[in-house]
Amino acid sequence: MDILHVSAECYPVAKAGGLGDVVGALPKYMNALGHTARVVMPMYRTKFLYTNDWDVVHKGNTNMGNWWFEFTVIKEKTDKLGFELYLVDVNGLLDREKVYGYDDDTERFTAFQICVLDWLNSWSQHPDIIHVHDHQSGLIPFMVKHCLRYRGLAHIKTVLTIHNAQYQGWMPWARSILIPQWDMWKWGMLDWNNTINPLASAIKCADKVTTVSPSYLDELKYMSNGLEALFEYEKGKCVGILNGIDDKHWDPQVDEYLEHHYSVSDLEAGKAKNKMLLCDQFNLDFDKPLIGFIGRLVGEKGADLLPQVISDSFYFIGRRMNFLVLGSGFPEVEAGLAALKPLSQYDYNVFVGYNEGLSHTMYAGLDFLLMPSRVEPCGLNQMYSMRYGTVPMVRRTGGLKDTVVDFGEVNGYGICYDQASIPDITHAVWRAAGLYHDKEKMNLIRKHMMTLDFSWETSVRHYIDVYESL
């Protein structure tokens, strides 16, 4: 089958979170099964753009409302990522440094989707499937079916994967002029609660909808930021497929970011060396368990609870553990975490920002990874941490529930709790501090986790089944 993935992110070209990791890996594993999967994304000003060679494959003129513009599609010359990678360049609109966060994001991603479909119009042989990811490419299923100028693409099947339903790309009806001329009778396919809602539109118009874990799909029916009734109504075409991880890239034996490599056979020594690096860099006490957090400092991730959890843990459990936080996000959470720094007694530190290299060293050097998420569609961090022998401490929700079994259960290996609340998380910290000193158990758990299979090989077959069903 011939599949075109349309996404705002793709690692290592541009990544803001897990969406990038998934789109950077999934197509490679589809190709390994003998299919042809390609990726098209906006051309941002990233290091990858400037350090690779490109061919121009298409030049076009198009319009978005009454704004006419030129666009170019370029292709990475060597397919070094394991798939054909295409970037859409719209001068001044897409070629920015960051992926998201601009006032004109609505125009940026609408223009991107128009360019992708205009470009597809020029192909002599169309893909069998257009696979869109999240709301940034969510207008495509509608446009393919209902825009007059894309009539020639209407036979192509579309699949939507929802990585995060919190963000839906809402735009007021006044912006409907941005969408190329469409069949006005179909306005209901764009609308949700009197606004244009690209994610809702994609759920209505795509031939199949997938979520990135089975539990997340169940949760969306009662907690999806306003789309609950829609998920209930469309449940027949929805399926939950657990993400995999790229275990060739995320492998402590060969990880290019690690100074000290290790495997199951020398994990204790290997992890200790990486922990030592972190303790030196961040002024932490090597003898205490090291509990870390990596991620966006936003409410979904429960990051706002961290400052209180850390101070309560020190107060109620004692200064028996270290905390190290890596992330950026809400200024008030960043400030709350920074405010704790002067109180550290060689047992707390925070790095505010995005740092891919440090995240890898943390997966390797931490003893525990804390994920108190309120919402977690899948979560990759817990799978990375397990691959590196680091015990995840997760709230039972979404993909966390589907991937982590509490060490108190048969064959369990993680620390699980039910509420994203300060007492529940602090209790998990207390359990972690206890487990750390049971060296034998800790090592058994680490070994067990490192041999678990979270690879894409299994998950990718479920996607192929979805395509084949169409």
**Rounded Cα–Cα distance for residues 373 and 390 (Å):** 18
25 binds ligand ADP (CB under 6 A): no
Determine which residue in the list 5, 8, 11, 18 makes contact with ligand GLC, applying CB under 6 A.
18
CA 251 vs CA 257, 262, 384: distances in Å: 10, 9, 9
Residue with tokens 């998201």: 100
Exposure class string for 269-278: b at 16+ Cβ within 10 A, else e = ebbebbbebb
CA 125 vs CA 2, 3, 62, 148, 160: distances in Å: 10, 12, 21, 20, 22
DSSP state of 206: S
**Rounded Cα–Cα distance for residues 453 and 351 (Å):** 31
Which helix (H) or strand (E) is 147 found in, with range? none
Shortest Cβ 380–ligand ADP spacing (Å): 4
Pick one of ligand ADP, ligand GLC, none as the site partner of residue 23 (Cβ within 5 to 8 A by kind). Answer: none
Interface mask (CB under 6 A) for ligand ADP, residues 241-280, using x and -?
----------------------------------------
Q: Which residues are annotated as a binding site?
A: 15
Closer by beta carbon to ligand ADP, 65 or else 353: 353
Pick one of ligand GLC, ligand ADP, none as the site partner of residue 283 (Cβ within 5 to 8 A by kind). Answer: none
Task: Provide the token pair at 182.
Answer: 């469409």
Strand pairing class (2-6; 129-133)? parallel
The one segment of 17-25, 220-228, 310-318, 341-349 that binds ligand ADP by CB under 6 A: 17-25
Closer by beta carbon to ligand GLC, 22 or else 189: 22
CA 166 vs CA 220, 374, 377, 461: distances in Å: 10, 11, 10, 27
Closer by beta carbon to ligand GLC, 73 or else 371: 371
Task: Provide the token pair at 363.
Answer: 């997966």
Interface mask (CB under 6 A) for ligand GLC, residues 280-319, using x and -?
----------------------------------------
Shortest Cβ 282–ligand ADP spacing (Å): 14
Sheet holding 54-64, edge to edge: 54-64, 67-76, 84-89, 36-42, 2-6, 129-133, 157-162, 208-211, 238-240
- Beta-bridge partners for 130: 4, 158
Pick one of ligand GLC, ligand ADP, none as the site partner of residue 212 (Cβ within 5 to 8 A by kind). Answer: ligand GLC
27 binds ligand ADP (CB under 6 A): no
Shortest Cβ 327–ligand ADP spacing (Å): 5
Shortest Cβ 14–ligand ADP spacing (Å): 12
Shortest Cβ 163–ligand ADP spacing (Å): 7
DSSP state of 182: B
Task: Provide the token pair at 414.
Answer: 């993680």
Environment class of 12 (CB within 10 Å of its CB; exposed 0-12, middle 13-18, buried 19+)? middle
Interface mask (CB under 6 A) for ligand ADP, residues 138-177, using x and -?
----------------------------------------
Closer by beta carbon to ligand GLC, 365 or else 377: 377
Q: Which 194-253 positions form the footprint of ligand GLC (CB under 6 A)? A: 212, 243
380 binds ligand GLC (CB under 6 A): yes
18 binds ligand ADP (CB under 6 A): yes
Q: State whether the Cα torsion 281-284-289-293 is positive or negative.
A: negative
User: What is the total residue count of the chain?
Assistant: 470
Q: Which residues are annotated as a binding site for ADP-alpha-D-glucose?
A: 15
Interface mask (CB under 6 A) for ligand ADP, residues 357-386, using x and -?
--x------------------xxxx-----
- Residues near ligand GLC (CB under 6 A) are 17-19, 22, 163-164, 212, 243, 376-380, 399
Contacts with ligand ADP by CB under 6 A lie at 17-19, 21, 294-296, 326-328, 354-356, 359, 378-381
